[in-house]
Structure 1
Amino acid sequence: MNLLVSHLVDAAAVGELLWDHFLAPSTRAWLDEVAGGPGRGRVLLAWLCGVHDCGKATPAHQRLWPEGARAVREAGLSWHEPTAAKHRWRHDRAGGFLLRSVLSDAGWSPEQVEWVWPLVAGHHGLFPAEGQLPEPRRAQGQLRGEGNWPRVQQELVRWFTQALGFAGVGAVQPVSVPSRAAQLHVSGLVVMADWIASDEHHFVGVDDLDEVSMEAARKRAGRAWAELGLRGGWGSLTAPASGVFEARFGHAPRDSQLAVLEAARAMQAPGLLVVEAPMGEGKTKAALVAAEELAARFGADGVFVGMPTQATSDPMFSQVRSWAGAIDAGLAGQVALLHGKRMFNKEWTALLAADAELDRRFAGVDEYGMHCGDDEYGLAAVSQAPADAVAERQAPAQWFLGSKRGLLCPFVVGTIDQLLFAATRTKHVMLRTAGLAGKVVILDEVHAADVYMSQFLREGLRWLGQAGVPVVLLSATLPPSQRREFIDAYLLGAASKEEAAFPAPPEPVGYPRVTAAWLDDDRAAPRFDVREAAAWRPDVPVEVEILSEQMLGAGSTTEQRRAALDAGDRAVADLLEQWLAVGGCALVIRNTVARAQSTFAELQARFGDDVRLLHARLTVQARADRTEDCLQLLGPPPKPGDDPRPPRPARLILVATQLAEQSFDVDTDLLVTDLAPIDLLLQRIGRLHRHAGTVRPSSVEQPRVVVTGFDDTGDRPPRLLYASEKIYGRYLLLRTAAEVSRARETGWRIPTVVPELVDRVYSGQPLVPEGWVEAETAARTDWEQEQSARAAGATPFLLTRLGEHEAPTLEGLHSDGVSGGGSESLMEAVVRDGERGVEVILVVADGDRYRTLAGRALGPNGEVPDGVLDEVLGATVRLPPTLSQAAVQECRVLPGWQGHPWLRYSLALELDGQHRKKLGETVVRYDTELGLVEETKQ
């Protein structure tokens, strides 16, 4: 048994340690301000962390354990059990209800009561409305308690308050009301303290009231903190001095990188920094150094770096570890990789393996004190570190790696989804907010957020602005309208306004360009700092060609479509034979997996082993291995001290999907690409002649992009690849096709022309030839309707609904229920516009037993022998969305997986001996070279 008062003081003691060893200086500063002066924020936080469970002092909770219930009754507190048994009253809502009364009776002002009670009522992850607090009427007071119960509840809060050193409950009252974002931040800290103090490995139950004290609780909390290895980031950071780029990265800064740092220094308050610069300009390095400046000036204690995809997160993880280690050697071990496939990142798993001997017992606890051995990101949190070995850890404390806790790590690299999740009305969203608040947030490739994702990004920027979190946005191809939307969202949040008529920021002229935005001291008017700089490399003239492709209408037969596809593949192969006759490296980007597979097959028949294929329907292990192989062969030259790399191949052709257009640091001599909107097309061109000093064959010394995927019809509007229209919409593709057609004569000077091209295509100004205008007008109408519908589709999932951005408290935040789901795959579907395809693990059903794809034997029910788990997990593949429903209906968790912490929720796709399976009306096959292939539809 653990006395309730024992848990309250334990949680309060953990709250003190959060203040001492975890909170950012900026968080401590505003807590002190709210509490009434220096040092008062610490004890206020401890009180909030401890008082969270006051609702357990009710019959509703005390009756749940028969032995404890008898003890309570023997102490003179009673209830009518038959009545109480018929109803339920959650102790978190009971706590909010009781605390409102206790605080009011103690003389607290209504505005202070109203922001504090939701912290208690919402500490299990959901914030109810005030009307949802009281016990059910039919309980007739038997859940709240009558007789002496009100006195006991008052006394419990009084005793706990005085144990913390306050004269009484009235003395706790803050002097100001924090922002709603700050309240959500504190709520996350309360949950964090509760989960730590609920760990029975460290907080053994106390059943003797004489043994309960703050002194004893502090000793328990101190031991737990040391054994868990918890810590914050760098604490108070010194502003970077001259020479910081050389110290961090081994080279002098480029002009554009200096402009980013100078803009950060010009900001007079936490704000938004938008960096637009060419591909390969070094934006991320500039952002990391700017983060040091912003952290030093505004009291941040760590960094979150959000990337567009899991694949782009992995190399960034290495870069951030190197940067953090250059600041302080101990910080490299505090960087977490946060995405659903991190177990396939060799650097991450090696760090965890290095900590394995330190991590043997701790499994963590959830919000109910239940022990859990796995998390939503596929990694088990299995143990605790001995107190004397904490400093030897190579990766963040295992406690941080449990479900929903990843953003609480001091330094985090993950997908942008992690920030988007924090903008959704989901359970325990406060933990995500607490993980982002107190950091500098860097988001790369923000142009990749479509209209649906942008709703969540803008909502997230509102909350970050209100929380005073400095944010750095990076993009090579950001439309001006999107830049303005992001700036407005952040400033509206900082001003705590639903809407406001802020003046537009000055429009930058040059490229690279940096725009800084923040509010003045009165938080009433925006301030801007706009800078331009010269790109580090001179313009490169890129020749633009069109490879016209026959497009068939809706009435064409399967055979006709197949013949047209084959003809298009042959045309690409013919072109590559011409340009790569004496060698060279080419990148071919197709807009669909099926198209990439078809092109690969044709090219492999002609060029043999010189061809590689990379797309999203490979198994995760194959995709990781192929990505690493491409980076080794075509990536940037190694730095001093790096492992040697194989020489650049004499000839190589990489066929890929859109995976290759974002943060994929490869250098190719020739690019062949399907038509895509201009910003994405320019991103793809960013892989062309990317690294200076590369020796290229004479035939490809001049950078050249060949655009295909549409028929070149001259004066008539082009017919576009149907799949491309479905992905991107006809409107932007038509306008981009017009620019591509024009560029055949003039080429493009990259990077100077990049912002001009993006602005023209997205501006809506007249652009297409006269013969295309009617088709463009119709396409624009369809596009605008679709954009509006998709934006509206995000509304039900947003953390704050329209009209609520000026709400003063968290009351009712979840009153309409949660949006989305708890798992990462379900959340991805919420923030990325619908079903992304079910993930399955491929196994081969061989009679009455199972094998892995590589042929290793599993148990008769799929049991996984020691040493085979990585191979099984590595066979995970994401199915096309069209097959998701069939997969859910026809696939199952193998019986031998049901008790396994990493496999118990994983669907197995049971292939036959030819690696085939019928799903619904479609036969799929897994080919070791092509990946998952949709063979037939019956």
Structure 2
Amino acid sequence: MSDVTPATESLWAKSPNEAHEFLPLHRHLEDAAEVAGWLWDSWLPAGVAQRVATAVGLPVEDLRRVAVFLAGVHDIGKATPAFASMHDHLYSLMQAQGLVGGGGFSRGLRRRAHHTRTGAWILTQWLESECGVTRATALTYAAVVGGHHGAPPTSSELIDVEPTAHPSLYGHGQWDVSRSELLERAWSRAGMARLGSLPALPQTAQAALTGLVIVADWIASNEALFPYAAPLSTRVEDGLTELGLPSPWKPAEVLDRDAQSLVASRFDLPPGATVRPVQEAAVGVARESRAPGLMVIEAPMGEGKTEAALAAAEVLAARHGLGGVFVALPTQATTDAMFSRVVSWVEHLPGEEMKVGASITLAHGKARMNRLYQGLRPHPGEVDTESSREGGTRVDRVVVHEWLSGRKKGTLANVVVGTVDQVLFAALRSKHLALRMLGLYGKVVVIDEVHAYDAWMNVYLTRVLSWLGAAGVPTILLSATLPPARRQELISAYAPESDSVEETTAYPVVTWVSGESASVTEVPPSGRGHWMAVEMLPGDLQVMAARARELYDEGGCVLVVVNTVGRAQRLFREVAATLGEQEVTLTHSRFVAADRARRDVELVERFGPPRDGVERPARHVVVGTQVVEQSLDVDFDAMISDLAPMDLLLQRAGRMHRHDRSRPAARRVPTLWVGGHAVAEGVPDFGASSYVYAESLLLATLGELQSRGDSGIELPGDIPGLVASTYSTAPQVPIGWQELWQEAEQRDAAERRRQQKGAQAFALKKPGRGPIQGWAAGEVGDPEQSDTARAAVRDIEETLEVMLVAVVNGEWRILPWLTEEPVTVPREVVPDESTTALLNDCTVRLPPGSAWNNAEVEQALWDETPEAWEFALGLSGVPVLALEESPHYYLVRMMGVCHDRAINITYTPQEGLTMERVSHDQ
């Protein structure tokens, strides 16, 4: 029996279901409040609660009351005629209880009067009139109610539904009475009277509380968990038990452990192996941290930075009460490679730290292609208790929790491994931004390869760091080749009040900033250094191909890295024409998802660290693009590379002689051949590379390399000096190039300003005072669904994603090498689940270029896409590109879509997708 008045009892929150049951508003609000209290007590990491409470100026238990109260009034805007009249029958029942008036709303006015906006006004006025707070303070609480659907209203949107201007939206009389009853009821049940006065909520606190209320609302709104007619006495307990959210990570007994024992136990160091100095330094700095802060680890390639970061993250989480870790990497390929390493680390954590069934997310658009990730999804009948191990039932220490793997919720898992975009999205004006913030606030955030991001991405990275710093989120940045100015920029973004970091030429080095303090720990070298010969290889692709064939003949595994996909494909053909396709592997971003995933796995398996049972080829050539230069633990005997900025060139060189192993006699001295450029009459020509990288950096890099002559490069000792010199305002360029460099630097500076200005268009402002109104104003879309949103954090041309199908004897089929038996794709009906999954495995993005990324081409593709697929789950939004079977490849010629030319589109599992314009008469 309800203890609210009949009029308030008649207010509805959820319209009738198939059983003709509806959910009363007061019941839904009470459900959400109880769920929020449980989330605070059992799911939210203690460190997050403490940091947010400190920022607000309240004890933790009082901020819990605020969270429960806000969840308990989040839908107060539904207690209005504007909302209630959307269901005629339920509204008639309410009118019979005296809730009358306010009808006849236009569709436009009703749309503007969304219950989040009216709710924000109702709470604001009630806090002013009943609690005596100022409007400015009240609005910081109302921002949580206004933002619980993901987009806090803007000031103009609130003005548009101001109660004095539109009283009919809100009603009067019994409407006021029932709203007051709900508000007072939530206030009393949360124990808010104990607080006395209400302080204003800082924006970081508003974000955290909004995220928590969103999660509570989503759980309480799930009818499978909270059936409308469930018994009142057990409905919340039963629903939360069925949901089974994992507890936070609670690291224990690590603060007193030395780095040697910690790293050895987590990463299976072989007997007698000692921890690397950078790992010992990172753990030591983390152990001494008195407050959350930013750690920057700069160390050579292959020095164990990942292990250092994970070990330090465990210590930071223990010291500061964090509940997980987020590891971010530059690309999908590097993310997949890191995922298995992180899973192994979690599996080595003690049982009391990461409970059996802790949740993990692989956060990128092709996660379904990762076999390990899919294998961590629970299977029907599996038991997830510790004791079940002894019975032989397979149980993983970490699993993919179904609810947390859904859209928008992946970053809430205990452990997240994802592309850096998933972190950058936290600075992108978009819906449900508060959820991303909440996911980051509860973790130690690790961002790898921070040197690899251009001026556009750096706008988002520095903005994210400003929010992480303001919220006190421990953050670890990793790089082998970080320019000094860039290091200071990142530090200043996270801790703007900190002391300037002292300049140092030491390397490796661990920098720590927290609050106003900053320290630099110079790390002794590990002794793993070696000398690398550098030879210039000016000329075209044929010259690089010829050198690759020569190195192959001499024996060993050779990596050739070029700067564009087109160059990689042409170079592959040049080398394979002589050596055969079995002796050459091509890797780049323009393979369909299934082929790309397979190649990434094979690359690490064949050319990764020495492992028992894995046979490394005696000789082989791998041709790739930038996908192999970052975070992939692969090891080659020799390398040829297009010229690139010094830091990236050294990153590429880090994939050579990375591990101790026997080398062919001719390859015992690591040698880097640098090509992809020419110098004619004293003037350098960088070809296609000048469209990829800043020409001033290419000039500075080439000048620095030429000035060294035959002296080569000492690794890692020369790294900081080379990078600092290349990025300085007066780099080492030959006489006669100074004017060229100055002109190039002026162009590049203008380009950097363009990128920074363009990135600002959708970037979140720095944390400040006042309500978080308008966070999603002018938003770019859902990053998980919108190509525009995904492209917004990178300065890349938005390109079209397509699904490739093969046309065989008039039938559509899945690309034949992806299945053991032919799989026909129906066009008249929606394909079944397994065929849909295979179609998603056949997605690829068209290369940049107006010739094929335009409305005409897109329309031609949609014209061929079955209408039956338009709204099919997993198929909508991606058109089909049907390729005709040819003797050796699949080909389609799209006529008339490019004015006087046609487009030849080919795809092979060896080369991936190629597109070229051809004359009509060809």
* TM-score, normalised via structure 1 length: 0.87
Aligned 8 A contact 1:263 1:530 in 2: no
1:547 and 2:573 correspond:
no
1:832 and 2:794 correspond:
yes
Query: Using the alignment, how far apart are the partners of 2:764 and 2:108 within structure 1?
Result: 34
* Among candidates 872, 887, 892, match of residue 917 of structure 1: 892
Query: Using the alignment, how far apart are the partners of 2:168 and 2:823 within structure 1?
Result: 61
Query: Using the alignment, how far apart are the partners of 1:546 and 1:744 within structure 2?
Result: 10
1:606 and 2:575 correspond:
no
Q: Which amino acid aligns with 1:17?
A: W
Query: Using the alignment, how far apart are the partners of 1:174 and 1:541 within structure 2?
Result: 67
What per-residue deviation string (whole Å, max 9, x for no partner) do you get for residues 32-63 of structure 1? 55474353333322111121111111001110
* Among candidates 684, 691, 708, match of residue 743 of structure 1: 708
Summarize the alignment of residues 343-354 of structure 1 with structure 2, pairs less than 5 Å apart.
343-352=368-377, 354=378
Cross-structure match for 1:809: 771
Q: Which amino acid aligns with 1:527?
A: S
Task: Pick closer, same or farther for the CA change 1:822–1:338 going to 2, 3 Å.
Answer: closer
Query: Using the alignment, how far apart are the partners of 1:647 and 1:928 within structure 2?
Result: 23
Of all paired residues, the percent bearing the same amino acid is 35
Cross-structure match for 1:372: none
What's the offset of the Cα at 1:425?
A: 0.9
Aligned 8 A contact 1:427 1:822 in 2: no
Cross-structure match for 2:346: 324
What per-residue deviation string (whole Å, max 9, x for no partner) do you get for residues 682-724 of structure 1? 11100111111x11111111100111111144x7131111x21
Q: Which amino acid aligns with 1:46?
A: V
What per-residue deviation string (whole Å, max 9, x for no partner) do you get for residues 421-456 of structure 1? 010111110010010002110000111111100000
Cross-structure match for 2:173: 147
What's the offset of the Cα at 1:165?
A: 4.6
Cross-structure match for 1:25: 46
Aligned 8 A contact 1:849 1:860 in 2: no
* Among candidates 116, 121, 127, match of residue 97 of structure 1: 121
Query: Using the alignment, how far apart are the partners of 2:547 and 2:677 within structure 1?
Result: 16
1:187 and 2:210 correspond:
yes
Query: Using the alignment, how far apart are the partners of 1:616 and 1:174 within structure 2?
Result: 57
Task: Pick closer, same or farther for the CA change 1:865–1:117 going to 2, 3 Å.
Answer: closer
What's the offset of the Cα at 1:870?
A: 4.1
Q: Which amino acid aligns with 1:595?
A: R
What per-residue deviation string (whole Å, max 9, x for no partner) do you get for residues 730-787 of structure 1? 1111111112222332111111111111100001214111111121111111011111
What per-residue deviation string (whole Å, max 9, x for no partner) do you get for residues 62-101 of structure 1? 1011111011100011114224667211101111101111
What's the offset of the Cα at 1:404?
A: 0.8
Cross-structure match for 1:619: 592
Summarize the alignment of residues 607-686 of structure 1 with structure 2, pairs less than 5 Å apart.
607-608=579-580, 609-638=582-611, 644-686=612-654
- Aligned residue for 1:400, secondary structure, equals coil
Aligned 8 A contact 2:120 2:145 in 1: yes
Cross-structure match for 1:560: none
Cross-structure match for 1:270: 292
* Among candidates 846, 855, 861, match of residue 891 of structure 1: 861
Aligned 8 A contact 2:278 2:508 in 1: yes
Q: Which amino acid aligns with 2:740?
A: A
What's the offset of the Cα at 1:574?
A: 2.7
What per-residue deviation string (whole Å, max 9, x for no partner) do you get for residues 558-582 of structure 1? xxxxxxxxxx333223323433334
* Among candidates 379, 386, 402, match of residue 355 of structure 1: 379
Aligned 8 A contact 1:320 1:335 in 2: no
- Aligned residue for 2:853, secondary structure, equals helix
* Among candidates 133, 136, 143, match of residue 158 of structure 2: 133
Aligned 8 A contact 1:44 1:172 in 2: no
Query: Using the alignment, how far apart are the partners of 1:838 and 1:300 within structure 2?
Result: 40
Cross-structure match for 1:438: 442
Cross-structure match for 2:464: 460
1:248 and 2:266 correspond:
yes
What's the offset of the Cα at 1:175?
A: 4.8
1:202 and 2:225 correspond:
yes
Task: Pick closer, same or farther for the CA change 1:808–1:843 going to 2, 3 Å.
Answer: same
Q: Which amino acid aligns with 1:760?
A: S
- Aligned residue for 2:685, secondary structure, equals coil
Aligned 8 A contact 1:53 1:92 in 2: yes
Bigger CA drift: 36-45 or 668-677? 36-45
Task: Pick closer, same or farther for the CA change 1:877–1:130 going to 2, 3 Å.
Answer: closer
Task: Pick closer, same or farther for the CA change 1:83–1:623 going to 2, 3 Å.
Answer: closer
Cα RMSD for the two superposed structures: 2.4
What per-residue deviation string (whole Å, max 9, x for no partner) do you get for residues 304-351 of structure 1? 000111111112111111212222343574222111111111101112
Aligned 8 A contact 1:590 1:596 in 2: yes
Cross-structure match for 1:597: 569
Q: Which amino acid aligns with 1:101?
A: Q
Cross-structure match for 1:403: 407
What's the offset of the Cα at 1:934?
A: 1.8
1:879 and 2:846 correspond:
yes
What per-residue deviation string (whole Å, max 9, x for no partner) do you get for residues 771-811 of structure 1? 111211111110111111111111111111xxx64323313
Aligned 8 A contact 1:233 1:334 in 2: no
Bigger CA drift: 149-158 or 529-538? 529-538
Query: Using the alignment, how far apart are the partners of 2:504 and 2:238 within structure 1?
Result: 54
Cross-structure match for 2:387: none
Task: Pick closer, same or farther for the CA change 1:865–1:154 going to 2, 3 Å.
Answer: closer
Task: Pick closer, same or farther for the CA change 1:611–1:223 going to 2, 3 Å.
Answer: same
Aligned 8 A contact 1:477 1:682 in 2: yes
What's the offset of the Cα at 1:537?
A: 3.7
Q: Which amino acid aligns with 1:716?
A: G
* Among candidates 473, 477, 484, match of residue 473 of structure 1: 477
- Aligned residue for 2:152, secondary structure, equals coil
1:906 and 2:874 correspond:
no
Task: Pick closer, same or farther for the CA change 1:121–1:148 going to 2, 3 Å.
Answer: same
Bigger CA drift: 186-195 or 394-403? 394-403
Aligned 8 A contact 2:572 2:586 in 1: yes
Task: Pick closer, same or farther for the CA change 1:784–1:161 going to 2, 3 Å.
Answer: same
Cross-structure match for 1:523: none
1:76 and 2:98 correspond:
yes
Query: Using the alignment, how far apart are the partners of 1:655 and 1:819 within structure 2?
Result: 36
Cross-structure match for 2:455: 451
Query: Using the alignment, how far apart are the partners of 1:42 and 1:606 within structure 2?
Result: 70
* TM-score, normalised via structure 2 length: 0.89
Q: Which amino acid aligns with 2:187?
A: T
Gaps of 5+ in 1: 360-388, 496-501, 520-525, 550-567, 639-643
1:756 and 2:778 correspond:
no
Query: Using the alignment, how far apart are the partners of 1:479 and 1:787 within structure 2?
Result: 16
Bigger CA drift: 408-417 or 568-577? 568-577
Cross-structure match for 1:261: 283
Bigger CA drift: 325-334 or 780-789? 325-334
Q: Which amino acid aligns with 1:729?
A: A
Bigger CA drift: 66-75 or 223-232? 223-232
Task: Pick closer, same or farther for the CA change 1:756–1:127 going to 2, 3 Å.
Answer: same
Q: Which amino acid aligns with 1:618?
A: F
What's the offset of the Cα at 1:669?
A: 0.9
Task: Pick closer, same or farther for the CA change 1:141–1:358 going to 2, 3 Å.
Answer: farther
Cross-structure match for 1:229: 244
Aligned 8 A contact 1:25 1:236 in 2: no
Summarize the alignment of residues 363-382 of structure 1 with structure 2, pairs less than 5 Å apart.
none
Task: Pick closer, same or farther for the CA change 1:862–1:611 going to 2, 3 Å.
Answer: farther
Task: Pick closer, same or farther for the CA change 1:478–1:936 going to 2, 3 Å.
Answer: same
Query: Using the alignment, how far apart are the partners of 1:86 and 1:617 within structure 2?
Result: 45
Cross-structure match for 2:188: 162
- Aligned residues, how many? 854
